[in-house]
Structure 1
Amino acid sequence: MSPFPIQEMTLPVALSGTDVIGQAKTGTGKTLGFGLPLLERVVVPADVEAGRARPDQLTDSPQALVVVPTRELCTQVTNDLLTAGKVRNVRVLAIYGGRAYEPQVEALKKGVDVIVGTPGRLLDLAGQKKLDLSRVKALVLDEADEMLDLGFLPDVEKIMNLLPAKRQTMLFSATMPGAVIGLARRYMSQPTHIRAVSEDGEGATVANIAQHVFRAHNMDKPELVSRILQAEGRGLAMIFCRTKRTAADIAEQLERRGFASGAVHGDLGQGAREQALRAFRNGKVDVLVCTDVAARGIDVEGVTHVINYQTPEDEKTFLHRVGRTGRAGNKGTAVTLVDWDDIPRWQLINKALELDFHEPEETYSTSPHLYEQLNIPAGTKGILPRAERTRAGLKAEELEDLGETGGRGGRGGRGAAAAAVVTEERPARTRTPRQRRRTRGGSELGAEAGVESPAVAEAPAAEVPAADEPRRPRRRRTRVTASAVAAVAEAAVAEAPVAVSAPVAEIVVEAPAVVEEAPAKPKRTRTRKTAAAAVVEAPAAEAAAEAPVAEEAPAKPKRTRTRKAAAAPVEGAEVVEVAKAAEAPVAEAPAAEAAPKKPRRVPTRKAVATPIPDVVTGVVTEAPAPRRTRSRKSAAAAAPEPDFQMAPPSEPVRTTRRFR
């Protein structure tokens, strides 16, 4: 087996300890191009036994560091390095987010030789003093252009500041923009730029990948993809989408059509993402719908078709998507579906990559040229026949509980892990039910509560209602029936065989609905007609108050006079006669029974004083007349005539304005 061009050109330079910038097409073996020099620089116990190193060179701190942009690429590189360093027993650890901290911290304490990680988790552990990078001899930035595009440049610079100044630095990527070259000049010492060219020429993509570009309508794309997936000789297939929502929707539609599909996107937890990738590698799922997080570094053997369901953002993303097939010399097929709105974007990509698809051909799921170019059998429909549904599916792959710290829901997130835990059934409650108290309209008088009421003890046993007697509905009294209820209550008190001193509230046997006391009478509001009669009856009421009464009558509510009642005139002679009839008893009346103080009234200018007698003292006082409101007509008639003669109004002067 001969090495790839990038490996053949990079290995001699990298093994000598020189900084390297490697650039090659996707799927041409860049991982081993930097992996083998890293493994050679690491000192392990096998080297001490063979005599190639001294015992004092052994350490448990990391000696090499590989920084990658995505979690999927982190696991991919880790597996490749473990395979290559298995003979020397090199300890390789993957550190990335979405997993629990504790297992990674425990592995660091035991000792690690090579670390492969994402920038975020590396900085977290380094900030907690759990990760020591002071012994690192070699640094590799894989997919350096992607880290710059995702905004990882500040994190990468922080990581580089934690490393020793004397080290070997290597940058590898399929595309090398100017920002990566600027980063190399700041942090690398006289790097060697290696750009490997394959035997098939200067094309941007590998020559053994067949390119197909179709102009398709968005509503017809699911049907079109379903028929492409039934092409002859199709193995594993990857479908790329721009958004997470589209990826989840297409995966669900394909599953309903009978295909064994899985999804990988950012809204899934890390456990669900790794479950889909394991099922895809193991063959349980043959269609993987994903976003651009799986477009870099994923190396799965047997991928024959790559479908761009949505047009990529730029030419670099297009290269990495298409590079998932046709790897390591194998052949593959790439199909790109361009919507009408994405034609300008696609034309820019086509021009940058120097392709021959400037005007994609309009294609539908029933177009004859689609069947001819992709070798789709005639009569194929958008639903997979049941005889061909032989895959186990995503559910056949076990979902691993990773102790995720940042799952955002979906299958495999924290919600799914919590639902998988079987909860124990709660024991039955043994507490006695709550005892209800007797209500006023109840039929039983304390039997439920277990307490005998005093009314039952005093009343005869013959008058107690039976337990099976139906409960009477509660009665509500209105104002009209209040006086009648009071009369019935007095009759019940007179006929009951109990002492007269017993309160009415205890007589609940004969008339349970009349037990309540009559409510207080509502406050009365005088009208204008009754106010005049109330003034004459006031002295008689004061004289009657002096008579001895057994029980004090409740105080009457305060009455409010209206305007007409205050204005009613009272003859002075009649007031004097009433005062003489009362004489001394009226003067000796207690202050508590005096008439309430009248509210102050503000007289108007033309108000005529009306004499009103004082009931207690008999002195006639002049009260001001109520305020009258004039209308416009009455005010004009009451106004005095002026002594002078007003001049007639002059005619208005007309003015003209010139408009310019």
Structure 2
Amino acid sequence: MSPFPIQELTLPVALSGSDVIGQAKTGTGKTLGFGLPLLERVTVLADVEAGRAKPEELTDAPQALIVVPTRELCQQVTNDLLTAGKVRNVRVLAIYGGRAYEPQVEALKKGVDVIVGTPGRLLDLAGQRKLDLSKVRALVLDEADEMLDLGFLPDVERIITMLPAKRQTMLFSATMPGAVISLARRYMSQPTHINATSPDDEGTTVKNTAQYVYRAHSMDKPEMVSRILQANGRGLAMIFCRTKRTAADIAEQLEKRGFASGAVHGDLGQGAREQALRAFRNGKVDVLVCTDVAARGIDVEGVTHVINYQSPEDEKTYLHRIGRTGRAGAKGIAITLVDWDDIPRWQLINKALDLKFPDPVETYSTSPHLYEELDIPAGTKGVLPRTERTRAGLRAEEIEDLGETGGRGRKSAAPAPAVREERPPRTPRQRRRTRGGSALAEGAATVPAPATEAVTEAAAPADAVEGPRTPRRRRRTRVGAADIAAEAAVAVAEAPVAVEPEAGAEPKKRTRTRTAKPKAEAVVDAVAAEPVTDETVTEAAKPRQRRARVAKPVTQEADFQTAPVAEPEAPAVTRPRRRARVIKPAEDEVDFQIAPVSEPEPPRRRTRAVSKPKTEAVAETATAEGEAKPRRRRAPRAAAAKAES
């Protein structure tokens, strides 16, 4: 087994302690290119036992630091270094966000040799004085260009200031823009720039990866992807989207179509992201829909197809996306679906990478050349047949409780909710009756009063009745005072009164009764003025009949009626109308008078004002009886003077 070019050129320089800038294509073994020198430079217990180091050189503080941009890459690099350092028993720890602080702090207290972490969590632990970076001998920035693109440059510079001045610094990436070179000049000492490529592999992309670019409609893309995933010889597949919402939507649609799919994007908690990656590596899920967080450094064996569902932002993102397939000498297929709106962006990518797809072919899910180029069986539909649904799916992979921080993590990593217990039906709340806004006395019962007492209560003034008075309700009526007095007497007789319960007796349950509200205060005065007999009460208890109104003397009738609104009566005395105000004209003006308007005139059409002679003015005068005289025209003064002469 021969090493990759980047490993063959980097290992001698890195083992000597010099600073290195390593650039190589994706999937060519850059991780071990800087990982093996770091594992050799740290001092462990095996070196002391073999006599290669002194006991005082042993320390529990980290001796090497690797900074990566994403959590998925951090976990993968940690696993690779643990596998490579198993012989020497090197302690490697991954520090990244989305996990609880306590396990990481406990591991730091026990002692660590190599730390792999993301900038945010490294600064948090260093600021809390839980992480000591004063003993670091070597620093590695993996995917340095991505860290600069994500805005990690200030954090990386803060981390570098915490390290000793005398150290070894190495930068590795597939692309090296100018910002990375300027960073190297500031923080590296005479670095060696190594750009490793195979002699038979020219160009910026990997030779073993076949690339296809199609112009596709956004509404037809899910159907196209479903048919591409049923191509002959298809293994694991990764689908890249530009937005988190699109990634979640496509993963859900593929699951409904019968594919075992999972999603990895920023809206998921760390536990759900790691669950999807573990299921993808274990083969329980064969389609992984993700954003660009999984485009860097993810190395999964058996990925044969990479589909760019949405066009990448730039050429660097395109290289890292298609670099997930065709790794370590294997063959792969990269398919890019370009929408009409993304054609200008894709043409820039095509020109920067010197590709051969300036104008992609318009393609649909039923296009014959799609089936021919990608080896899709004829008659394939957009739904996976039930006979081919052999994967266990994402739910077969258990989700790990990481003690995640933040609201989004808790939602995704929370265990399944328990079965909700059925509660007994709730007794409805009993409504409490009140009188006049105040509650009744507790234990008081309401009983109807006797008729004789009711008559007495009705004859008494309103203020003399005990208890709060019910608000009066004004009523318009046409009946006489005697009828209303009789009705008021019956209403008061039927009204309930509060009676205190006897000692030792159980309070009776209050019953809901409908009581008639008393009439106006004039009714009570009318009842007090007339004597009430048994015949009156009997007559009042009879059904109410409409009677003709009988005029009675004023002394025997209470004046309380109100004339009906529908039939207004004319006033007895007609008041004369006000005289119109007469404006006396000046010597050179005509007499002008405004007459009272009895009926609104129709609106006049608005026209441009035209100067008219003032001789057309009209004046009116009002008579003493309030009637206006008919209008008459007045001759102008000039004409009158001429007539007199």
Give the alignment's TM-score, normalised by structure 1.
0.71
Change in Cα spacing, 1:38 to 1:482, as seen in structure 2 (3 Å) is farther
Distance in 2 separating the partners of 1:135 and 1:630? 109
Distance in 1 separating the partners of 2:338 and 2:271? 33
Q: Which residue of 2 aligns with 1:268?
A: 268
The superposition leaves residues 609-638 of structure 1 with CA deviations (integer Å, 9 ceiling, x where unpaired) of xxxxxxxxxxxxxxxxx999763xx322xx
* Deviation (angstroms), 1:369: 2.0
* Deviation (angstroms), 1:359: 2.4
Change in Cα spacing, 1:426 to 1:125, as seen in structure 2 (3 Å) is farther
2:94 alignment partner, SS class: strand
Distance in 1 separating the partners of 2:222 and 2:445? 79
Distance in 1 separating the partners of 2:319 and 2:489? 103
Q: Is structure 2 residue 475 aligned with structure 1 residue 478?
A: yes
Q: Which residue of 1 aligns with 2:34?
A: 34
Q: Is structure 2 residue 22 aligned with structure 1 residue 22?
A: yes
Segments of structure 2 that go 5 or more residues without pairing to the other structure are: 454-471, 500-512, 524-553, 559-570, 591-610, 612-645
Q: Is structure 2 residue 395 aligned with structure 1 residue 398?
A: no
Matches of residues 58-77 of structure 1 in structure 2 within 5 Å? 58-77=58-77
Letter in 2 for 1:422: A
Q: Which residue of 2 aligns with 1:414?
A: 410
Q: Is structure 2 residue 43 aligned with structure 1 residue 46?
A: no
Matches of residues 566-585 of structure 1 in structure 2 within 5 Å? none
Segments of structure 1 that go 5 or more residues without pairing to the other structure are: 441-445, 461-474, 497-502, 523-540, 545-552, 554-564, 569-625, 653-660
1:218 alignment partner, SS class: coil
Letter in 1 for 2:399: L
Q: How many correspondences in the alignment?
A: 516
Distance in 2 separating the partners of 1:262 and 1:218? 21
Q: Which residue of 2 aligns with 1:155?
A: 155
Letter in 2 for 1:3: P
Matches of residues 420-435 of structure 1 in structure 2 within 5 Å? 420-422=416-418, 425=421
Letter in 2 for 1:293: V
The superposition leaves residues 255-279 of structure 1 with CA deviations (integer Å, 9 ceiling, x where unpaired) of 1111111111111111111111111
The superposition leaves residues 507-563 of structure 1 with CA deviations (integer Å, 9 ceiling, x where unpaired) of 9xxxx87775544469xxxxxxxxxxxxxxxxxx9xx9xxxxxxxx9xxxxxxxxxx
Q: Which residue of 2 aligns with 1:381?
A: 381
Distance in 2 separating the partners of 1:176 and 1:31? 16
* Deviation (angstroms), 1:418: 4.5
Q: Is structure 2 residue 357 aligned with structure 1 residue 357?
A: yes
* Deviation (angstroms), 1:188: 0.4
Change in Cα spacing, 1:492 to 1:376, as seen in structure 2 (3 Å) is closer
Q: Which residue of 2 aligns with 1:321?
A: 321
Letter in 2 for 1:15: L
Distance in 2 separating the partners of 1:438 and 1:628? 58
Q: Which residue of 1 aligns with 2:629?
A: none
* Deviation (angstroms), 1:344: 2.1
Distance in 1 separating the partners of 2:313 and 2:34? 29
Q: Which residue of 1 aligns with 2:166?
A: 166
Distance in 1 separating the partners of 2:498 and 2:265? 77
Matches of residues 444-459 of structure 1 in structure 2 within 5 Å? 451-452=444-445
RMSD: 3.8
* Deviation (angstroms), 1:414: 2.1
Distance in 2 separating the partners of 1:342 and 1:304? 25
Letter in 1 for 2:403: G
Change in Cα spacing, 1:210 to 1:449, as seen in structure 2 (3 Å) is same
Matches of residues 602-641 of structure 1 in structure 2 within 5 Å? 631=580, 634-636=581-583, 639=584
Give the alignment's TM-score, normalised by structure 2.
0.72
* Deviation (angstroms), 1:84: 0.7
Q: Is structure 2 residue 318 aligned with structure 1 residue 371?
A: no
The superposition leaves residues 348-392 of structure 1 with CA deviations (integer Å, 9 ceiling, x where unpaired) of 212221222222222222222222222222222221111111111
Do the aligned partners of 1:141 and 1:171 also contact (CA within 8 Å) in 2? yes
Q: Which residue of 2 aligns with 1:191?
A: 191
Change in Cα spacing, 1:40 to 1:478, as seen in structure 2 (3 Å) is same
Structure 1 segments, 4+ long, off by >4 Å, are 416-419, 423-430, 432-440, 452-460, 488-493, 503-507, 512-517, 626-630, 645-648
The superposition leaves residues 60-89 of structure 1 with CA deviations (integer Å, 9 ceiling, x where unpaired) of 111111100111111111110111111111
1:478 alignment partner, SS class: coil
Do the aligned partners of 2:239 and 2:290 also contact (CA within 8 Å) in 1? yes
Q: Which residue of 2 aligns with 1:243?
A: 243
Matches of residues 513-528 of structure 1 in structure 2 within 5 Å? 517-520=518-521
Distance in 1 separating the partners of 2:363 and 2:201? 31
Distance in 1 separating the partners of 2:215 and 2:491? 98
Change in Cα spacing, 1:125 to 1:224, as seen in structure 2 (3 Å) is same
* Deviation (angstroms), 1:339: 2.1
